[in-house]
Every structure is written in structure tokens, then in C-alpha cells.
Amino acid sequence: MQKIEEKLNSFKKQVNKEQLQKDFTLALKDETFKILVDRLALDDDIAINYTSSLEDSAREYKNCLKCKNLLSCKNKVEGYVYFPKKNNQKLEFIYKACKYKEKLDKKTKHLKNVNLMFATKDLLLASMDEIIKTDKNRFATIKWLYDFKKNY
């Protein structure tokens, strides 16, 4: 009875390996996927085991190439790309912040030190660049703010 189970398990592994090989070969037709696999310099036997994760990574990378800002991000985790990292002959996948997310994080870094009750996000993210400068009645106040900022 045990020999039958061993042969059945061996057959299942062979069928799975063949299906993985087919999936990998099909995925290699995508130029981004192929570039990603080449850049990682993995043996095909190893890369085959990560086909679906590499496809996800290639898809998210393509989204980043077309992205114009953080609000139009189409990735699973907004502002991040699912990125493969080679560790010996294995792959680890991490979420790496895109350029727009890094820019936002840099801009809002100071907010970690601020604790305001009932303040809206718009108020916390307000900047001098957003002040409406077309109203002449605001000129004195705006000048005072710029002078204060310059001297501070």
C-alpha cells in the first residue's frame, strides 16, 4: 500500500512541476517579467517556484511606470511596490515605497512630533505654497507670515 502512495505522490509532484514549467514559460512572454527574472540572476529551476509572486511584482512595477501620483496608484498596497529581493538562491518579497510615497513621507515627517486634537488632515498638510495670494486684503498677513518663517 505504501508503494502505491509513494508512486501517487511522485506522479502529483511531476504533474505540478510540469504545470509550474508551463506557467513560467508563459510568464516569460511578458517583457517586464523577463527583465525582472534576468535582473535577479536566478536559475530557472528556482525562479519557477516563484512564478506567481514574480508575476505580481512585474504587474505592480508596470503600474508604477504608468503612475502619475499617489492618488492614482493601482497597486495592492497604495504607494508601495511588491519587490523581490534575492537572498542566496531564494527570493524574499518586500513592499518598497514608490517615489511619490517617499516624497509624501518626507514632507509629513514632522507630523510624527505633532499631536493636535480635532485637526483635519488638510490642516496638518497645509503649506505656505497653498496660500491664496490673489486677494489684496491678505497681503499684510501673508507678508508677516513669510517674514516670520524667514526669520524663524
Query: For 23, which DSSP code?
Result: H
- DSSP letter at 41? T
The predicted pLDDT at position 82 comes to 93
User: Which residues are within 8 A (CB) of 27 and not within 5 positions of it... i.e. 6 or more apart?
Assistant: 33, 51, 54, 55
pLDDT of residue 76: 93
Question: Residue 118: its pLDDT value, please?
Answer: 77
144-152 average pLDDT score: 85
Q: Is the pTM of this model over 0.85?
A: no
pLDDT digits (tens, 9 = 90+) for 27-79: 989 999 999 888 988 888 888 888 999 999 999 999 999 999 988 899 999 99
CB 22 within 8 A of CB 14: no
42 to 82, 114, 149: CA distances (angstroms): 18, 46, 53
Closest CA to 94 of 78, 82, 80, 86: 82
pLDDT at 151: 85
Q: In sequence order, what are the beta bridge partners of 90?
A: 87
Percent of the chain with pLDDT over 70: 90
Taking the CB of residue 63, how many other CB atoms lie within 10 A of it? 16
Cα end-to-end span (Å), the chain: 84
pLDDT of 86 reads: 87
Q: What is the pLDDT of residue 77?
A: 93
68-77 contact pairs (CB < 8 A, 24+): 69/100, 70/98, 70/100, 70/101, 70/104, 73/98, 73/100
- What pLDDT sits at residue 90? 84
**Mean pLDDT estimate for the chain:** 84
